[in-house]
Structure 1
Amino acid sequence: MQRMSIYAMPLTWLALLALVPLYGCGKHRIVARPSAKVALEPEYPLHIMAQRYNELMRYLSDVTGRRVEWLSSASSEGMIATIESRRPDIALVDPLHYVILKKACDAKLLLKVLLKPVSGVGKPKATMKGVIIAHADGGTPSLSEIEGSIVAVPSRQVLFGFVAQAKVCKDAGINLNTLRTVIERREDRVVASVAYGRAKFGFIREGTLELLSDTLDLSKVKVIHETRDYPNPCFICLPEVMKRRAGVIHELKEALLKLNQPLPEHRRILELAGWAGVTEAVDDKEYDVVRRLIDELNLPY
């Protein structure tokens, strides 16, 4: 019988060997690192998500000693399903998603992200805004022209890309039923749709245009309105996951809080993610403003 050299083994088998927890004898043992999973909102295309969060995942792996993976989905609706599956240990979510998951699964707040001002100058922000953009070719449309127009949105199930802007339109006397919304799934697609004139208006979060300025021609994209401030995205976990994985969640939370230490490598990770820091100072009552929006707009969440 012919013996196969390890160098001739398929890569698949070599990968499987790496997953064996403990094999061999003496000093020659293969040890698999325990894993942890962090879910992230699918805000942007994969390459931008990787630029923003790969360093963060490496940092979390180094600090916790775990193989930390990030999970996402193709849409915001899919993100909620991913979290409800109990696969992630923790998740960074849009405020509307927190409110939905609090109601459906009793989601627990862990941390809130602090954001850099869009201008880059000033104190860290615990709140952010949504933005209404328009295709401006020969003149900037007014908000009143949105009635009956095509409006690109990343989802109808996000605060900063639909619900906050819907409130602005309602307050301006616009019949929301006349908006011809097109769901683009990601914010970069919303901006592209408006830039190329496929949609006359678009709903995105503040900071998105600055992030995409090197990849899209924004000469025909104008901001015509901002929403009021709402609480920032937050890290959450589900109670069932907390019962099974309390130690893992504690490790991830403590590692994230250590990013506030003024070290060059921490500043780099925060800069890439677009954060100014993270804080434990977060309370469910902060998100009551989102619950009131849901009721006022009669949304089915």
Structure 2
Amino acid sequence: MDLSVREEISPEARQPVITYAYLPQYSHTASFERHQALTKYLAATTGLNVRQVFPENFQEHMQMLAQGKIDISYANPFVHALAVERHGAGVFAKIIELTGEATFGGLIISRRDNTEIASLEDCRGKRWIAVDQFSAGGYLFGLVHFIDHGLTPGDFAEIAFAPGPGGKQESVILGVYFGHYDVGTVREGALELLADKIDLAQIRVLARTPRYPGWSYAARPGLAEEVVEQIKQAMLALDRGNPDHRLILEQAAMDRIVSASPEDFQPVRDLVHRTGLQ
């Protein structure tokens, strides 16, 4: 080996990371498992260095989006309605649910053996646990449904929000199941997450809320338009007829991803203004 022969090696320029975050309505493990294949697909398809990040809660997700620490946000329409108005985030795509619809709703639940609660009116004076103050299906939709049936926040003995990072939908269901709270609000489909852990027959669905525009993708203010377009086109190219794509979509609990604009979410913005939560 001739050590007199030297070659200068320049380190490769590090590609900027494009951060992708799933609003933490479920545990971080569930968020990772649902979107790992999708983020890998986006990175491979666009050539961008896409990495999933994990905010601890809804509030932190919104703060990170406003601070530029989340480039691509996958979140409920309530969060994006606020993010668009407060910080100028740009909604560019939305999902079609596995039901084939672009809308979803919330559930108002109680324990089946709680004889004091058989209707929404019976929730007056009771303890209500919701997912988060920025949850659409787990709070906003239920709140409006209660208001439409004559109950205001002041009519409840308590309104609590699920504690801790992630896993909040599950926490609401368990809070009701174990009798810590009388009623709870979660999004459609959340009960099935605990089908192998609790006896769902003990949970009564008191009401289903109307359905509203569903989850969407938004880009942080200032993210380069060409980056947003690359991400968007890769998402729109996902085709259920392709077995690999179908697996990616089903893991993420989506039927497909389609184009969207802020106007699509006006019904949710109307709810936000109506309740004074903006």
Superposed counterparts of 1:69-218, under 5 Å: 69-117=51-99, 124-137=100-113, 139=115, 141-179=118-156, 180-185=158-163, 186-218=168-200
- Does residue 267 of structure 2 align to residue 289 of structure 1? yes
* Distance in 2 separating the partners of 1:273 and 1:290: 23
- Does residue 234 of structure 2 align to residue 255 of structure 1? yes
* Distance in 1 separating the partners of 2:240 and 2:97: 16
Deviates more, 1:202-211 or 1:176-185: 176-185
Taking a change above 3 Å as real, the CA distance of residues 105 and 278 of structure 1, as seen in their structure-2 partners, is same
Q: Give the match for residue 277 of structure 1.
A: 256
Taking a change above 3 Å as real, the CA distance of residues 198 and 260 of structure 1, as seen in their structure-2 partners, is same
- Does residue 212 of structure 2 align to residue 237 of structure 1? no
Deviation sequence 1:13-55 (CA, Å, 0-9, x none): xxxxxxxxxxx95899767554221121001012211221111
Q: Is the CA contact (8 Å cut-off) linking 1:40 and 1:92 kept in structure 2?
A: yes
Superposed counterparts of 1:36-55, under 5 Å: 36-55=18-37
Name the SS for the 1:260 alignment partner. Answer: coil
Q: Counterpart amino acid of 1:293? A: L
* Distance in 2 separating the partners of 1:132 and 1:146: 10
User: Identity of counterpart residues, as a percentage?
Assistant: 24
* Distance in 2 separating the partners of 1:195 and 1:176: 22
Q: Counterpart amino acid of 1:39? A: A
Deviates more, 1:152-161 or 1:125-134: 152-161
Q: Is the CA contact (8 Å cut-off) linking 1:152 and 1:201 kept in structure 2?
A: yes
Q: Counterpart amino acid of 1:146? A: C
Taking a change above 3 Å as real, the CA distance of residues 291 and 66 of structure 1, as seen in their structure-2 partners, is closer
Q: Counterpart amino acid of 1:205? A: R
Q: Counterpart amino acid of 2:92? A: L
Name the SS for the 2:74 alignment partner. Answer: strand
More contact order relative to length (CA 8 Å, sep ≥ 6) = 2
* Distance in 2 separating the partners of 1:136 and 1:90: 40
Provide TM-score, normalisation by structure 1: 0.82
Q: Is the CA contact (8 Å cut-off) linking 1:135 and 1:141 kept in structure 2?
A: no
Alpha-carbon offset, residue 91 of structure 1: 0.7
Q: Give the match for residue 120 of structure 1.
A: none
Deviation sequence 1:230-260 (CA, Å, 0-9, x none): 001110113322xxx3332222212111113
* Distance in 1 separating the partners of 2:89 and 2:106: 24
Provide TM-score, normalisation by structure 2: 0.88
Structure 1 gap ranges (5+): 1-23, 118-123
Q: Give the match for residue 4 of structure 1.
A: none
* Distance in 2 separating the partners of 1:222 and 1:25: 72
Alpha-carbon offset, residue 177 of structure 1: 1.2
Q: Counterpart amino acid of 1:229? A: R
